[in-house]
Structure 1
Amino acid sequence: MKILITGATGLIGTELVALLLQNGVSIHYLTTSKKKIESQPNYRGFYWNPDQGIIDENALMGVDSIIHLAGASIAKRWTSKYKQEIIESRILSSNVLFKAIKDNPNSVKQIVSASAIGIYPENLTKLYTEDETDVDESFLGKVVMKWEESVNKFKLLNIKVAKIRTGLVLSEKGGALPEMVKPIQMGIGSPFGSGKQMQSWIHLHDLVAMYFYAVDNELDGVYNAVAPNPVTNKKLTQEIATVLKKPLFMPNIPKFLMKLILGDMHVILFASQNVSSKKIEEAGFKFEFKLIDKALKNVLE
């Protein structure tokens, strides 16, 4: 099996590459940095520049599936300019891939794209499945909708499209968790807002295993990448404090304060999405980390 990966050097991509190589999968990857191009027997880099519509078509040679992870991080301050970059980085990269596949001979049968549970409307009680048709009216909701639309086009080329709607990724190497850990580590941690907002999370190991499972089983359609047991923000904060053996005695952090500090990006901390993992489990995927305490111990201890 040969897989083409975009975003191969990011948090998820790095872990995914390691897993695929361990399982004998041959990897092509696209990079915007010519310095990051390597050429090993099972790991070859190719240059692309989605902003300029440039891609080395040789990246498609012999490729069965594409795993599309490329996109600007949402964990940076959302200025108007950066919001545009968040959207464009996802859509332009999809468009460049689409054109390359359409215009060049290839054997691509499937694309598995990153997506996010931010598409689901904020709700404290509703359990969301992949069948949900309402889209959250926030900036993130609109980003995910446009992102998924850009990937759906690949169906026109008779390519299977799997979209992996990812929750809060638990890893010590990056993402939101290290930022949540810092104040708790300093003894000044506390839940955000009411603390009642639901946080649908997934361990990084399970997430990359799900991507591998999706290509290995040629999955098609939308799948939620969240562990089976979402928790409230209060519970998550308490569990982090327990693992770190730190007290929690500060009052809850008000929304207005985080808005002052983070700007528009503060909504990530206060949004509530209780998301179901049932569909991917019924497709045969087995989670290694189903409970938050075990996941956090693995990551933080």
Structure 2
Amino acid sequence: MKVLITGATGLVGTELVSMLLKGGYHVNYLTTSKNKVQHDEKYNGYLWNPDKGEIDPHCIDGVGTIIHLAGASIGKRWTSKYKQEILQSRILTTNVLHSLLKNTQNSVHEFVSASAIGIYPSSTDTVYTEDSTERDSSFLGTVVQKWEAAADEIAKLGIRVAKIRTGLVLSGKSGVLKEMAAPARFGLGAAFGSGTQMQSWIHLTDLAGIYYYALKNELEGVYNAAAPHPVTQNELVKTLARVLGKPYFMPNIPKFVMEAVLGEMSTLLFDSQNVSARKIINEGYQFKFLSLEKAIEDALK
């Protein structure tokens, strides 16, 4: 079976591509750089330019499933210009794929799209399921809503669509955990604000595993991608310090300090989303990392 992946060279994409190739799948991927196009027996690259609406139509030749991971990182300072890039990198790319699928004869029957738990409002006491209708009105919440709406347009073409709402991804390669580990290695780890905000985390292996599972089992609809046991940020930082064998004594960093340093992006440190993993578990997915401590140990080894 042949799969087309966007964002194949990113953190999640790299892990997923490895799983797919080991599983016997043929992988096509899209890139904006000619230097990243390669053609192997089971791994082939194709060019696209979402800003101009351009895409190599051969990328979907023989493809049954598209896994859409592309999107600009939310981990850079949110200037007005970059906020536009965060939004457009998700909407434009989805729209380009929609146009290709609508106007080109193809065999695609499944579309699996990245999404985020940032669609849910920040709350320290609400447990969100996929059926929760509350929506966050912040910039990030609005981005996710528009992102999912763009994916829903593909469903109107008669293609099965699954949306994977991702929590805090634990990886030592890049992302939040790597940034948190840097000061923690010197015994300077600290939580932000009250530290009571809930962190719905997931190990990188499990996140890629859920995409793989969605593909193999033809899942449809929305799925939260977060481990079954979310923790407070205080517990997250404390566990990180324990794994590194470092003390945890620094006072929490006040919100106003991070707002001064990061601006609007500081909301990533203070938002609280406690999401349920029950739906994906009921579908039969078995998490490899249920323990936060073991997840961090593996991510940082």
Match of 2:183 in 1: 183
Match of 2:15 in 1: 15
What's the secondary structure of 2:228's corresponding residue? coil
**Unpaired stretches in structure 2, ≥5 consecutive residues:** none
TM-score (norm 2): 0.99
Match of 1:94 in 2: 94
Match of 1:238 in 2: 238
Match of 1:155 in 2: 155
Match of 1:133 in 2: 133
**How much does 1:188 deviate?**
1.6
CA distance in structure 2 between the partners assigned to 1:180 and 1:259 by the alignment: 17
Amino acid at match of 1:274: N
Match of 1:195 in 2: 195
**How much does 1:38 deviate?**
0.5
What's the secondary structure of 1:235's corresponding residue? helix
CA distance in structure 2 between the partners assigned to 1:296 and 1:6 by the alignment: 27
CA distance in structure 1 between the partners assigned to 2:147 and 2:38 by the alignment: 29
Match of 1:109 in 2: 109
What's the secondary structure of 1:173's corresponding residue? coil
CA contact (8 A) 1:111 1:160 kept: yes
Q: In the TM superposition, what are the counterparts of 1:272-283 in structure 2 within 5 Å?
A: 272-283=272-283
Aligned residues: 301
What's the secondary structure of 1:65's corresponding residue? strand
Q: CA RMSD in A?
A: 0.6
Match of 2:225 in 1: 225
CA distance in structure 2 between the partners assigned to 1:111 and 1:241 by the alignment: 39
CA distance in structure 1 between the partners assigned to 2:161 and 2:207 by the alignment: 17
CA distance in structure 2 between the partners assigned to 1:153 and 1:215 by the alignment: 19
CA distance in structure 2 between the partners assigned to 1:44 and 1:300 by the alignment: 31
**How much does 1:155 deviate?**
1.1
CA distance in structure 1 between the partners assigned to 2:190 and 2:31 by the alignment: 39
Summarize deviations over 1:138-176 as a string: whole Å, max 9, x none. Answer: 111000000000100011110001000000000001111
**How much does 1:297 deviate?**
1.1
Amino acid at match of 1:20: L
CA distance in structure 1 between the partners assigned to 2:9 and 2:153 by the alignment: 25
**How much does 1:134 deviate?**
1.3
Q: Does 1:287 align with 2:296?
A: no
Deviates more, 1:258-267 or 1:60-69: 258-267
CA contact (8 A) 1:224 1:280 kept: yes
**How much does 1:93 deviate?**
0.2
**How much does 1:186 deviate?**
2.1
Q: Does 1:4 align with 2:4?
A: yes
What's the secondary structure of 1:40's corresponding residue? coil
Match of 1:83 in 2: 83
Equivalent pairs: percent with the same residue? 58
CA distance in structure 2 between the partners assigned to 1:106 and 1:176 by the alignment: 38
**How much does 1:262 deviate?**
1.1
Runs of 4+ in 1 over 4 A off after TM superposition: none
TM-score (norm 1): 0.99
What's the secondary structure of 1:46's corresponding residue? strand
CA contact (8 A) 1:128 1:276 kept: yes
